[in-house]
Structure 1
Amino acid sequence: MPDPEQGESRRRGRNETEEERADRMWQELIQEVRVAQTGVQILFGFLLTVVFTPRYAQLSDTDQMIYIITVVLGACATGALIGPVSLHRLVSGRRVKPQAVRWASRLTLLGLVLLLATTSAALLLILRVATHDGFVPYLVAGVVTWYLVCWFVLPMWTRHRHTTR
């Protein structure tokens, strides 16, 4: 038989102050950002080396343009995903942690969208160079759809379905 006090506690959520909640959310956000930062930094580092290979000069103008766009997207994703660290450092001790958490969360979400674009563009370039086949855009579209489902659709569905009203 469920404990009525537990049920009441479950409806209210955690019993924490705004500052305690901000501290907890900050720790969770930083753990999430670490995962995304690692991925974007590895991808961006790899992208930076491509232009220095002999093969780069042999790419078509279209493929070189895709490469340039991919590098710029990677740089933007890196900036957005490192942004929360800088934000925290610059506002630390100013008693604005709840606001900093909100902005850091927005930067992280933007970084994930830019990481999706970077990864998709890199996949497009790699598959165009590797296969030269007309099915490449469809394959990339399938992978983008998979990312969208995993990164956004499923979390938003879960949020909608299981959020207490």
Structure 2
Amino acid sequence: MSRETEKQRWQRNFADLLQELRVAQTGVQILFAFLLTLPFSNGFTRITEFQRDVYIVALLAAAAATAMIISPVAFHRALFRQGRKPELVRFAHRMASGGLAFMLISMVSAVLLITDFVLSRPVAFVLSGVTALWFLGFWVILPFARRGWGDDEIDDDDDDPQVLVGD
């Protein structure tokens, strides 16, 4: 059986990360587009000062998420064919993690904005809190809890360069 070289592992890690970023990018772009068009809707003039502030937080967080999730592309262009894939993968990982954090803030803020507009503020806070917990559960708690499961199995995301190709 052939073993994956370190260069192949970094290339695979980068390709895997790009696939993940494509999924996140679509979601954040849809949210960002929605937030960008919201002020031009008729009902937006009836929002409270609190709702306006929540809107600004949601908009800026979506912009930050978009910038961070797309930044590995610009970084890749700058480092193209320089043999710096490990640096690129580490940078892209940090940007993806930061982008997801900003996306979480934007999503929860958007839920708070909309629920506060159509429901009472206490209900909006409860629903936004549940939304935050829901995202944290699927994006943080479950993935990190899963890290310890099946330690005896070979994981394709393992940092061990001796991982067998095809396993």
Aligned Cα root-mean-square deviation (Å):
1.7
Structure 2 unaligned blocks of 5 or more: 153-167
Q: Which has the higher helix share?
A: 1
What is the aligned partner in structure 1 of residue 26 from structure 2?
Answer: 38
Greater Rg by CA: 1
Change (3 A) 1:163 1:105: farther
Structure 1 stretches of 4+ moved >2 Å: 160-164
SS at match of 2:4: coil
What is the aligned partner in structure 1 of residue 108 from structure 2?
Answer: 120
User: Alpha-carbon deviations, 1:103-152, whole Å to 9, x = none?
Assistant: 10110011111111100000000000011252221111111111111011
Quote the offset at 1:20 in angstroms.
0.5
The answer to which structure, 1 or 2, has the higher relative contact order (CA under 8 A, 6+ apart) is 2
What is the aligned partner in structure 2 of residue 158 from structure 1?
Answer: 146
Q: TM-score, normalised by structure 2?
A: 0.86
What is the aligned partner in structure 1 of residue 119 from structure 2?
Answer: 131
User: Alpha-carbon deviations, 1:43-95, whole Å to 9, x = none?
Assistant: 00010001112222211111011111110001000001101111111111111
What is the aligned partner in structure 2 of residue 3 from structure 1?
Answer: none
Say if 2:76 is the partner of 1:88: yes
Q: How far, CA to CA, are the matches of 2:42 and 2:4 in structure 1? A: 58
SS at match of 1:119: helix
Say if 2:6 is the partner of 1:18: yes
Task: State the one-letter code of the partner of 1:132.
Answer: S
Task: State the one-letter code of the partner of 1:143.
Answer: T
What is the aligned partner in structure 2 of residue 4 from structure 1?
Answer: none
Q: Aligned residues, how many?
A: 153
